[in-house]
Amino acid sequence: MSRLTGATRRFAARFMAGTRGNVAMMFALALPVLLMITLGAIDIHQASKVRANLQDALDAAALAAARTPFTEDADLNNAGLAALKANMPSYFETDENGKLLRDTANFRLDGNTIIATAKVQVKVLVANIVLPPYGTLMDDRLPVGSSSEVLRASRNVEVSMALDITGSMDNCNRNCPPTSKIQDLRAAAKELIELVVQDQQSPFTSRVALVPYAAAVNVGADAAVSVRGALNDTSKTVSNASWVSGTIRTVTAINRASAATITASSHGFATGDRVVLWNIDKMEAINGVAYQVVRTSSSQFQLRTLNSSGAVTSNYLNTNGYNSFSGTGYVAKCVRTDCGLVLTVSGHGLAANDYVRLADMGGMAQLNGGGYRVASQSGSQVILDTSRSLGLADTSKGGVTYSGGGKLFDGRDGNLWRVFPAASGMVAVHPASPCVSERPGAPPYSDAYPNVGSYVGRAYLDSGNPCPSAAVMPLSSSRPDLGEAIDKLRASGSTAGQIGIAWAWYMISPNFASLWESGRRPEAYDRTRTLKVAILMTDGEFNTPYHAGVIAADAGTGSGGANTHIDANATNGHPFTQSLDLCTAMKAQGVVVYTVGFDLGTNVGGPGIDTALEMLEACASSKDKHFFKATDGTDLKDAFKAIGRDITRLRIAR
C-alpha cells in the first residue's frame, strides 16, 4: 500500500510539472478571440465605409433642413429625415406612422445652427456567420454614428467647371478600356453635380455652370456677339475679272526631278509663255505661281521660275522635295506676265499686302473660296497674288472668262472670314465661329465686362480643329439639365486650357451677369453670402495660344498643321503663363480654385512652370487640399466626389 501511495504521489508531481501541452491549450483558448479580431476587421471596414457615407448624407440632410423656413424641431426632423432616406435608402426604415424602426436621427435648432445626429445599425457580414456566438453577443450589428452642424445663415454656392473635351479625351481606338476618358469625365462631373446642387433652392441657392473647352470655348452665337463684338460683313461686289486666257489644259503627270516635266496633252504652249497651275495635289506649293514655259513637245513642257521682280531666272521648277503628284490638275496661260488676278471692285478699301477671300465668281469657279494677298491696287482695280493660295489646291476646273457676280471679302480680324499668311508660307482662309479665344487687349487677365477695345478674342478655326459643338452652360440649379448637357460632350480638337480657365471665372463673375438671363446670373462678390468655386480639369499640355483670332505660329504639337497657324507668335505668350495669371487674379477675388489633372503622368520641366502638372499645382488654391491627380476613371470620379463634398462642407460649421 505504501508503494502504491508513493507511486501516486510521484505521478501527480510529474503531471503538475509537465508543460508539453500548454501552447496547444493556450492557442485553443485564444483561437476564437483571434478569429473574431481577424474576421471582425472586415466588419469594421464595412462599418467605416458606411460611416463615411453617413457623414456625407447627414451633411447634406443638415443643409437641406437649414434651407427650410421651419423653426420647430418636428418639422426640421421631417425635412432632414427625408433627405437622409433619399441619400441612404438602405437605412432609416420607418413604420406606417413614420417612426424609425432601428436607426435613429435627430435634427434640432439651437440658436442659428441646425444640429444633426444620426446612428445606423450596420449588419455584420462575417462575425455572425463564422462565429455565431460572438455575432449573437453583438446582436449581429455594429452601431455607427455621426453628427453635423450647419449655420442657418449659410451661403449661396456657384460652381463653374472647365472641362477638357479635347481629342486626347477620346482614347478608345483599338484595345479599348472599359470606358473612354470622356465617358469617365461625364460620370465624374454628374456625380459632383449630385453632391453640390440641392433640391431646396431657398433661401440659398446652389448652382453649377459648365465650360467645355478644346481649341477654343463656344459661348453660343448670341453671347459671342456681346463679348467679341459683332462680325463685319465687308464683302464688296466684283464687276469684272481677268486671270487666264486661251484653253485650260488638264495636267496628267508631273515627275519628281530637279527640272520637272509636266505632261498635258496638246497643251499648245510656246516657249516664253507665262502660265499658272492649280488643283495640283501633293505639290500644293506650285499652285497659283507664275512660271515661264520651256516647250519640250506637244504634250510636255518644263517651267522656269521667276524672281521677286517677275524676271525669268535660269532655274527650272524643282519637284524633288515634293510627294508624287496624283489626281488631276490644270494649267492655263496667264493674262499678265506675273499671273496676277485683276479685279474691278468699287470702294474696296484695300491696301497692298491685305488678304482677301473670293466667292461666287461666275465663270471662274476655281477661284472661289481661295485666299489671296493684295499685290497692288489703284482706284477700283485690285491685283491679287494667287500664289500660295490653299484655295487653288482643291477646286474645280473652272473657266477662263468672267461671266458676272463675285464677292470680295476683307480677311482682317473682326470680319466674317479670316485670311492670313500661314506659318507654312501659304495663304489660309478660316471662317468665323461662335467660339472665343484669349483676351488680346487690356486688361487680358481681368473679369471686366468686354466692351469695344477690351473684347475677348475671336476664334477662326479650320475644319480639322473646329469650334466645339458643346457651348457653355450658365449657372443652373437643374440637375437634369446639367446632366443632359454633360452627356452631349464629345471629344475633339486641341487644348486651349487658358481660355477654359478664363471662362470658368467669367461664368461666376458678377461683371458678366448681364450676359445671361435672369436666374442664371452670378451673385456679387461677397464671401459671407456666396461661395464661388472654379474647377479646372485637363488631361494634357496646353498647346493652343492665339494671335489676332488665329492659332499662333508658336503653338505646341497637336494644335494642327502649320497651314492652319498664322505666321506670328502668340499675343499673350505661353498658355501656362496666361493660366497662372488668370488663376492669381481669380483667387484674389475670393474664388476657390480646384484643379484636376487626369492621366498627366509625373513629368516636370525645367526651371519655372512649363508642364500641365506644375501649372495645375500652382493654379489651385492650395496644392495639398485643392489639387487632385487622377490616373484613371476611378480616380477621376473620386476626385470630383471629394471636391463636391468639400464644397458642401465649406458651408458647414464643424
In a domain, 4, yes or no: no
Task: Tell me: do 307 and 372 sit in the same domain.
Answer: yes
> Average pLDDT by consecutive 10-residue portion of the chain (654 residues)?
57 56 58 57 73 90 82 89 89 82 89 89 67 52 87 85 95 64 96 91 91 98 96 96 96 96 97 96 93 97 94 96 93 96 97 97 95 97 95 88 96 97 96 96 88 93 96 98 96 96 98 96 94 95 96 95 96 95 97 96 70 94 96 94 87 50
**C-alpha span between 131 and 31 (Å, rounded):** 11
**What is the three-state SS of 69-121?**
CCCCHHHHHHHHHHHHHHHCCCCCCECCCCCECCCEEEEEEECCEEEEEEEEE
Task: Tell me: do 559 and 473 sit in the same domain.
Answer: yes
pLDDT at residue number 144: 87
Are 391 and 356 a contacting pair, CB within 8 Å? no
Q: Which domain holds residue 56?
A: 24-151
Task: Tell me: do 451 and 571 sit in the same domain.
Answer: yes
Task: Tell me: do 527 and 645 sit in the same domain.
Answer: yes
- Number of domains comprising the chain: 3
Task: Tell me: do 375 and 469 sit in the same domain.
Answer: no
In a domain, 405, yes or no: yes
pLDDT at residue number 296: 96
pLDDT at residue number 21: 57
**What is the three-state SS of 238-261?**
CCEEECEEEEEEEECEECCCCCCE
Cis upstream peptide for 575 (omega within 30°): no
Residue 292 sits in a domain whose CATH number is 2.40.30.180
pLDDT at residue number 99: 83
Domain boundary among 151, 175, 204: 151
pLDDT at residue number 241: 98
**C-alpha span between 616 and 70 (Å, rounded):** 43
In a domain, 5, yes or no: no
Task: Tell me: do 299 and 319 sit in the same domain.
Answer: yes
Report field, pTM of the whole predicted structure over 0.75: yes
In a domain, 16, yes or no: no
Scored b (16 or more CB within 10 A) or e, 161-192 reads bbbbbbbbbebeeeeeeeebbbbbbbebbbbb
Residue 549 sits in a domain whose CATH number is 3.40.50.410
Nearest to 375 by CA among 384, 387, 364, 362: 384
pLDDT at residue number 129: 55
In a domain, 417, yes or no: no
> What distance lies between CA 441 and its chain's CA centroid?
24
User: How many other CB atoms sit within 10 Å of the CB of residue 43?
Assistant: 21
The residue assigned the cell 512649363 is 610
Kindly state the helix (H) or strand (E) to which residue 644 belongs, with its residue range: helix 633-649
Task: Tell me: do 527 and 608 sit in the same domain.
Answer: yes
Say if strands 217-218 and 435-437 run parallel, antiparallel, or are unpaired: antiparallel
> What distance lies between CA 613 and its chain's CA centroid?
16
pLDDT at residue number 396: 85
Are 105 and 81 a contacting pair, CB within 8 Å? yes
Domain boundary among 102, 122, 151: 151
* Amino acid, single-letter form, for residue 488: K
pLDDT at residue number 134: 47
**C-alpha span between 583 and 74 (Å, rounded):** 46
Task: Tell me: do 301 and 207 sit in the same domain.
Answer: no
pLDDT at residue number 651: 61
Task: Tell me: do 220 and 240 sit in the same domain.
Answer: no
In a domain, 634, yes or no: yes
Are 219 and 503 a contacting pair, CB within 8 Å? yes
Task: Tell me: do 242 and 221 sit in the same domain.
Answer: no
In a domain, 225, yes or no: yes
Task: Tell me: do 240 and 227 sit in the same domain.
Answer: no
Scored b (16 or more CB within 10 A) or e, 468-480 reads bebbbbbbbbebe
In a domain, 392, yes or no: yes
Are 422 and 355 a contacting pair, CB within 8 Å? no
Domain boundary among 131, 151, 171: 151
Task: Tell me: do 556 and 509 sit in the same domain.
Answer: yes
Angle at CA 287, nearest 5°, toward 281 and 288?
155
